[in-house]
């Protein structure tokens, strides 16, 4: 199906830290081509971008949200919790952007994925309380502490499902996907210790499961140029956004030609 014939569009956004600013670049390209998603699904940073988009925030407001939100702040360090940063310290920051704190107050249906650490399974949130599931979906371990929701600990959705296409595919007839979890080639010097090795294996596992589902989308971007941007490097915000905009514009122009 051609995108111009689509009655409804689903947008799927992967996790990937600061590289997720490329999602916002894609959204800008979509808006410039008068394309709007009706349903959004996301994991981790994809959940955050998805929530802001579903909330009706402008591209500029989305970028400013990530520029203003601190990643590492001394007063946010976790005490008596697993993880270096206490994720729930971000609640008040998020409350300013989502004052009613409900999925129902968003302008579009949103599906976000988090990992239930106790059951060892994926959980999807799409109704009720919004902020805690958002925080949980983006709680990258071991940097950020798990988030407690109804007596269960939840963490980064990317552990179980980093590209939650399943939640939009039966509800829309055209799917646009954006994957920013890139696992390109590394050098021997990049695998010197156990942490580097574990990180590499994890990224390859996530990429393998992502890539297959991504290619099933009607249109997708997966910019390899994002490899040079650190997952937690806030200096890369504008660059990642520009890369996503460039790739998104090219993909949409091709789809509409």
Name the residues annotated as catalytic: 44, 156
Residue 115's nearest CA partner among 141, 93, 94 is 141
Strand partners, 40: 11, 110
* Cβ atoms < 10 Å from Cβ of 105: 12
Q: What are phi and psi of 238, to 5 degrees?
A: -65, -40
Tokens standing for residue 89: 């310290």
- Tokens in use for 200? 């590499």
d(CA 160, CA 199): 15
**DSSP structural state of residue 118:** T
């Amino acid at each position: 199906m051609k995108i111009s014939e689509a009655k409804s569009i689903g947008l799927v956004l992967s996790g990937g830290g600061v590289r997720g600013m490329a999602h916002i670049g894609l959204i800008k390209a979509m808006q410039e081509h008068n394309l709007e998603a009706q349903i959004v699904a996301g994991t981790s940073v994809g959940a955050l971008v998805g929530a802001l988009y579903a909330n009706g925030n402008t591209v500029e407001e989305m970028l400013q949200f990530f520029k203003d939100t601190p990643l590492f702040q001394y007063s946010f360090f976790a005490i008596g919790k697993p993880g270096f940063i206490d994720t729930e310290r971000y609640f008040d920051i998020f409350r300013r952007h989502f004052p009613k704190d409900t999925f129902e107050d968003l302008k579009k249906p949103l599906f976000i994925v988090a990992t239930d650490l106790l059951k060892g399974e994926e959980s999807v949130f799409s109704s009720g309380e919004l902020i805690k599931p958002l925080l949980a979906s983006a709680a990258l371990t071991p940097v950020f502490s798990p988030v407690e929701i109804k007596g269960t600990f939840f963490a980064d959705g990317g552990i179980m499902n980093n590209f939650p296409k399943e939640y939009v595919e039966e509800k829309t007839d055209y799917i646009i996907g954006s994957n920013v979890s890139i696992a390109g080639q590394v050098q021997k010097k990049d695998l010197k210790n156990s942490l580097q090795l574990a990180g590499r294996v994890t990224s390859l596992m996530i990429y393998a499961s992502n890539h297959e589902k991504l290619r099933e989308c009607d249109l997708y971007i997966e910019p390899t140029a994002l490899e040079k941007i650190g997952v937690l490097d806030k200096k890369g915000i504008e660059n990642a956004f520009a890369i996503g905009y460039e790739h998104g514009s090219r993909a949409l122009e091709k789809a509409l030609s």
